[in-house]
Amino acid sequence: MQYNYVITPKAVGRITDFYSNVAMKYRHAYSIQDMERNVRQAVFSAYLIERGLARREPTLSRWRGLYMANANKWYYAYTIEGKNIVIHDACHALNMHD
């Protein structure tokens, strides 16, 4: 089945905030280009949901009622609404705890 992907501002914001914090902490070793590349990779990985990333039960209580998928170090919380996959949230592996 062909899906349309909708990534909410919350999910993109979580990814951007994570890498912004990395850039601030390691400003002498981590460039803006590194940050942009990492954000792009994390967002593009979300497009693999239901096309290569396994559907899982969420491990975070705040994601209860959603599906979860993992790509590299990012976890995504999403729903399937007809032909749309709506990605509601994203969380880096370092922050996967309640």
Query: Which structural domain range is residue 14 located in?
Result: 4-95
pLDDT, residue 98, reads: 85
Domain of 57, CATH number, reads 3.30.2310.20
The whole-model pTM stands at 0.94
Q: What are phi and psi of 73, to 5 degrees?
A: -105, 10
Per residue of the chain (98 residues), what is the pLDDT tens digit?
799 999 999 999 999 999 999 999 999 999 999 999 999 999 999 999 999 999 999 999 999 999 999 999 999 999 999 999 999 999 999 999 98
| 89 Cβ contact partners less than 8 Å away, ≥ 6 residues apart | 8, 10, 11, 14, 62, 63, 66, 76, 77
Q: How many domains does the chain have?
A: 1
**pLDDT tens digits along 21-42:** 999 999 999 999 999 999 999 9
